[in-house]
A and B are shown apart, each in its own frame.
Chain A
């Protein structure tokens, strides 16, 4: 899952990026408000972590203009401004979550997963499709209850497809959701990962829509 981190403090930003990466997130880090707004608006992120005291453009202003532009990317505000009026203002202006520094990395990860899940209309952290189920917090996939070992990319790809179950995702969309900045993506990388997923799980789990992309069917059984 690809996350945008907007934090101007070098030491904290470095720590959060490293920590969220350890938890399996793809993290891009920007240090000012204008860059944060530009990147979130690009729409490639499952969620964003936004500090409020950002240079160039304050986090609150970023939030406000994003929501004014109808950009619905979930935003988790991570700030030291703990006063209740600040929290209320942040949430009212469109923050999906408001977390006070310092924060536990695992909790931050769980909150980000929860935001991404809700943005896709999913109720639980465990996604199901037929006999396949995906536990996002444990980063574990099972087939008929048996654990299947997947690579990081394979897991992320399956997670992205299952989060958007029922919708067709283009190869470019999937690439943007999978790779943070600075990674060279082979032109057929997505095809290779899809191939592996079909082989390891079920051949008919991921369907190809010719000329458009890939999709996973929405689960029939109630989640």
Chain B
């Protein structure tokens, strides 16, 4: 787990390939140098061996009548690393101090590598002008390797030092370069969930700017959402408190009524009405919450005319109780795409609002029409309508026109607009030219019709 996380880190992603490449380049340099130097060295030193042999042959030609073996003295500390033998008519006549009595090489003329006294020697054998003189010149192979190693070391040492140094500098640079990233993660890690102010990071690299900007934009959006939710909760609490306060007050009045039966009856009736009102509010809150949680279920074809007739019939008694006239113009079937429950909730809220906010004896007109391919639902009333300022605030949750006698909670309109959005229908509110009150128009686009 930890190892895999380390491999995933930017640090190792940067450092591992970098160091691997460096090592490869270093190895290639060493190998190339090795082969190159070895080749050049062999050529040069073989040349020297041959040259030395030629000198010995020439010298031997001048002293051919010499008797016995002559050992040449060792004159240099490197002398033991080279040796030579001169044979005349098969007899050893001249040799270096370290050379043996038998010929160094049995391979005939030219270059050969021989093992003598357990060590490898490079031997050059040649013959004099008269073939009775044989010259052998040998050189210890080790000394060649020593030169090679010395050359290679010159190449290797700086690189051997440079590599860890490079790794260190690379690590440090990356570490420093990633500091803002660590700072970011630390900031995010320490953040309380409620903290939504923008992130402030010093010396932000340009590569990270988009990340931080995106994060800050996200925080901003969340803040707006949280603020909206908080406002909603506060509003909901406010709206629930009033009916509960009313229920409590009325219940206490009923308890304190004593012998006043009429007052007790009135207070108990009001208590029940308050409970109904709180129930309705809770139901609407739940409807709204559900709409926001799971917006679109499967949409089917719904006959708007039939549905409007049914909802209007449900609500007609409420209107009639207030001597309001409710008129319906929905004769032709008009199919729209929607979910029956949602459309019904929307229509109910619209007609209910018209009844609720219009005075007694008001007229309410509901129509379903087909206008140039679009299905249009209109709910109009002869009530007081709304002012420009009120129209502007319409749709804020819990906004309701103050001063009305009605106990609405202002959620109905939020539900209506939400459903319209889900059904992809356009909604418009303005003054009713026909009745003088409010006119709400819901328009299904051609594409949203079944």
Chain A residues with CB under 8 Å of chain B are 8-12, 14-16, 18-19, 22-23, 31-32, 53-56, 80-83, 100-106
Contacts and interface: CB of A to CB of B under 8 A. Distances in A.
A185 to B, nearest CB: 23
Interface in B227-276: 234, 237-239, 241-250, 252-253, 256-257, 263, 266-267, 270, 273-274
A8 B245 CA distance: 13
Interface residues of B, number: 29
A22 B402 contact: no
B244 A11 contact: no
A101 B240 CA distance: 10
Contacts, number: 87
B403 interface: yes
Given A15-B270, A19-B256, A55 B249 contact: no
B277 interface: yes
8 contacts: A12-B245, A12-B246, A15-B246, A15-B270, A18-B250, A19-B252, A81-B234, A83-B234
Nearest to A78: B245
B242 A12 contact: yes
Contact of A80 (B237, B249, B256, B274): B237
A196 to B, nearest CB: 24
Contacts of A101: 241-242, 244-245
B248 A104 contact: yes
A98 to B, nearest CB: 14
A144 B242 CA distance: 46
B407 A9 contact: yes
A11 B273 contact: yes
A14 B263 CA distance: 11
B253 A18 contact: yes
Given A18-B263, A100-B241, A101-B242, A11 B248 contact: no
Contacts of A31: 403
B401 to A, nearest CB: 8
A31 B406 CA distance: 13
A99 to B, nearest CB: 10
B243 A11 contact: yes
B39 to A, nearest CB: 89
A11 B242 CA distance: 9
A16 B252 CA distance: 9
A101 B270 CA distance: 17
Contacts of B256: 19, 22-23, 105
B371 interface: no
Contacts of A23: 256
B241 to A, nearest CB: 4
Given A22-B257, A82-B237, A105 B249 contact: yes
A32 B249 contact: no
Q: Which 8 A-B pairs have the closest CB atoms?
A: A15-B249, A55-B402, A55-B403, A102-B245, A101-B245, A80-B241, A12-B246, A80-B238
B402 A19 contact: no
Contacts of B243: 11-12
A102 B270 contact: no
B405 interface: yes
A163 to B, nearest CB: 24
A21 B399 CA distance: 32
B342 to A, nearest CB: 30
B339 to A, nearest CB: 34
B405 A10 contact: yes
A103 B245 contact: yes
Contact of B402 (A15, A53, A102, A106): A53
A101 B249 CA distance: 10
Interface string B61-76: 0000000000000000
Given A12-B242, A81-B234, A102-B247, 20 more contacts: A10-B405, A11-B243, A11-B407, A12-B243, A12-B249, A15-B250, A15-B253, A18-B249, A22-B253, A32-B403, A55-B402, A56-B403, A80-B238, A80-B239, A80-B242, A101-B245, A102-B245, A103-B245, A103-B249, A104-B248
Contacts of A12: 242-243, 245-246, 249
A23 B257 CA distance: 11
B245 A80 contact: yes
B234 to A, nearest CB: 7
B246 A9 contact: yes
B241 A102 contact: yes
Contacts of A14: 246, 250, 270
Contacts of A15: 246, 248-250, 252-253, 267, 270
Contacts of A81: 234, 238
Contacts of A103: 245, 248-249
Contacts of B246: 9, 11-12, 14-15
Contacts of A8: 402-403
A104 B252 contact: yes
A19 B253 contact: yes
A19 B264 CA distance: 11
Contacts of B402: 8, 53-56
Interface in B354-368: none
